[in-house]
Structure 1
């Protein structure tokens, strides 16, 4: 373990910056325990790709990216144990190499395993990635190690915890046999795809919709399990589709000054990049996971119960189509589906869920991106829940109303971390510990 004085921690898109005094680069569980036990305040980071302000803000920081080994396989049980700093890409490649998969994968593969679990990272047509975790070692605030299994009552609290209960060390995932998807993609009018959501979730093994604001259309992606030997006539669309990111950068360049230009840009991007049909096959990882993401992005994402989504979508669409406001949204808005679970801070706690992403292609001007505010206002109104690793302004008062286990989580957090070692300024405000301290004083 190396410890050194340094200066500034900077997030992936340079929107968050913090000075700090000590940086620990850990490679073993013992080094991780020592770093935690020897500091009064400490946070930890991986690939820095969170839009939420959760990774830094303390004088001592732990860089988890060197803690990145595959520990073991259990070939009979189809489980793999890894260190939490491992990049998701390396985990997925490792399990595919032995013929396994995790049946619900997030959009990108460049995040660390620990960060992905702590913030509730998810894919579509399955459960949160954390639901496939069946065991983990958790380093507590005093540096001690606690093993948590799927039978442990604490597991439902630990699965998604923003690193407020402790630092995940080693993690064991339950995998399954790898399968092949036949993927079909193409545009549909909003009046077509919206009523078909529930029937498509029953019919298809994979469903994702990229909604295209200001065009009245969505781009529907379905996937069905097939025999790997089944022949599929591949159609990846025109070659120029690979230039969508560059085209978006150009078309959205001045939309923070003239928001109405977004509607024009969206129509052009739809015609150029979302109007063609595509078809291909591959493993879940090969067929559905984006292999990179530009650091010019800033993201928010909100979730809502499946039964409430049509009403929320209609209200959101009306609001975004008003020329009197400045909430013009860059495309696409990613619509995905997560099945209910029992994890305390899961978006899908207690009900099947629709998630809806909101993206700004101009990260530097994200603070004035009105769409984030409009989307949050509508989802909060209907009991929506924010993605923990993305932008939102809701705090304790709002979160206590939309997460049934919020107060239980806060009590457990206080028990496991009585001195608030793992709270930075952002998290202190999120759980209202600042006001509690002031009240005691």
Structure 2
């Protein structure tokens, strides 16, 4: 029952009156057609109430595990409920790869795309940037396919569950490749900010971590492809930071057993691009998260601004991560329209003081046009957030056309799209 269904972090209890778990496409279509209101449920890694509802939830976890590689077209069609770890293994076995992965490979493809989830790298778009075609069940139970190039397409991959239930997504792929990952320790923040554009472009993926206790990026995770020039020789300093001599966890006091292999040891793309191994739970889930995406040109000014409230941040913080994302044209993507830097906060699991600091952070980041992650915590007013998406009115109109009665609405969409979500 809904009283027993909580999200991964435990900060949200789902209020659904029932949870459907169809095992076939026909069952899914019947569930959607027959429910007055329904929301798709992914792997429950959202910290916001984006998937919550007082009506019905539908989980795709028991649907057929589709992973269909088209080598000639260089695509893979995958079930929306599949987790990235499952997809990656099968894709690599077929000789192909995705350009990027999120920090966690445990999340579902459909849920990650619908909320604009991303990895890191100045050349890498958000995960839904790889979507070429998607299939979804619409409000009347019909099956609809939309492809890149269709007028509606830019509004659909990141659509917050408001237009229908994704069944499959067809993703662009490339030939498989190897990468190696090196963690560098003790990078002075001033040195990083003085060379920020150069620093984040030195490798395929660069992720910077700080706990804000000192003006330092305590760790920098650098992932390089083996088919590209190495950013540094083994053992060499990197912008004065020194390579770690053992594997580490982003929260340095935590065990690194759950983390992917480091110290420059080469391996397949899917064994390094995520921070955490799929066979391990990365933490207890005892945390809260918020994240902000802002134009890359404002990254240095925004991080400088946050140094003014470092003590307040540190008081409720576990770790903060800075990453880069390439621009795209998906209407609700955090990187719509410009190359982007994201600032992610993993907080302690104490909501009241965390939300107070979130308000401080958001007040400082507002002048830079920061867009909160749809699936994480925010204190910003919905109208303030939607004003930062130039195509939001077009998205609202698209939802009205796909779901005029608001079948896929919930309190989350009502806040952003208006009463009835349509």
Q: TM-score range by the shorter chain?
A: 0.7 to 0.9
Gaps of 5+ in 2: 236-242, 256-261
Which residue is 1:353 aligned to? 340
Matches within 5 A, 1:243-392: 247=253, 278-289=263-274, 290-291=276-277, 292-294=281-283, 295-321=285-311, 325=312, 328-360=315-347, 362-363=348-349, 365-369=350-354, 370-392=356-378
Which residue is 2:239 aligned to? none
Which residue is 1:217 aligned to? 216
**In 1, Cα distance between the equivalents of 2:117 and 2:191?**
29
Encode CA deviations 1:322-343: one digit per residue, 9 max, x unaligned: xxx5763524211110011100
Structure index of larger Rg: 1
Which residue is 1:264 aligned to? none
Encode CA deviations 1:365-413: one digit per residue, 9 max, x unaligned: 1233133222222222321101111111334311232110111111111
Encode CA deviations 1:299-334: one digit per residue, 9 max, x unaligned: 10001101111111111111224xxx5763524211
Deviation at 1:13, TM superposition (A): 2.2
After TM superposition, the score normalised by the length of structure 1 is 0.83
Match of 2:406 among 420, 428, 439: 420
Which residue is 1:261 aligned to? none
Secondary structure, counterpart of 2:302 in structure 1: helix
**In 2, Cα distance between the equivalents of 1:327 and 1:225?**
34
Secondary structure, counterpart of 1:10 in structure 2: coil
Deviation at 1:53, TM superposition (A): 0.3
**In 2, Cα distance between the equivalents of 1:225 and 1:326?**
34
Deviation at 1:78, TM superposition (A): 2.2
The answer to whether the 8 Å contact 1:68/1:87 transfers is: no
Report the structure, 1 or 2, having the larger helix content. Answer: 1
Secondary structure, counterpart of 2:400 in structure 1: helix
Greater mean alpha carbon deviation, residues 70-79 or residues 45-54: 70-79
Which residue is 1:269 aligned to? none
Q: 1:29 to 1:306 in 2, by over 3 A?
A: same
After TM superposition, the score normalised by the length of structure 2 is 0.87
Deviation at 1:193, TM superposition (A): 1.4
What is the RMSD of the two structures over their aligned residues, measured on CA atoms? 2.5
1:13 aligns with 2:9: yes
**In 2, Cα distance between the equivalents of 1:243 and 1:429?**
34
**In 2, Cα distance between the equivalents of 1:61 and 1:161?**
17
Q: 1:111 to 1:195 in 2, by over 3 A?
A: same
**In 2, Cα distance between the equivalents of 1:69 and 1:106?**
20
**In 2, Cα distance between the equivalents of 1:244 and 1:76?**
43
Secondary structure, counterpart of 2:365 in structure 1: helix
Gaps of 5+ in 1: 250-276
Which residue is 2:182 aligned to? 184
Which residue is 2:245 aligned to? 237
The answer to whether the 8 Å contact 1:327/1:371 transfers is: no
Encode CA deviations 1:172-223: one digit per residue, 9 max, x unaligned: 1111012222333212100111222211344322211112312211122223
**In 1, Cα distance between the equivalents of 2:373 and 2:251?**
25
The answer to whether the 8 Å contact 2:2/2:14 transfers is: no
**In 1, Cα distance between the equivalents of 2:306 and 2:266?**
34
Deviation at 1:25, TM superposition (A): 0.6
**In 2, Cα distance between the equivalents of 1:395 and 1:175?**
38
**In 2, Cα distance between the equivalents of 1:430 and 1:394?**
11
Which residue is 1:122 aligned to? 118
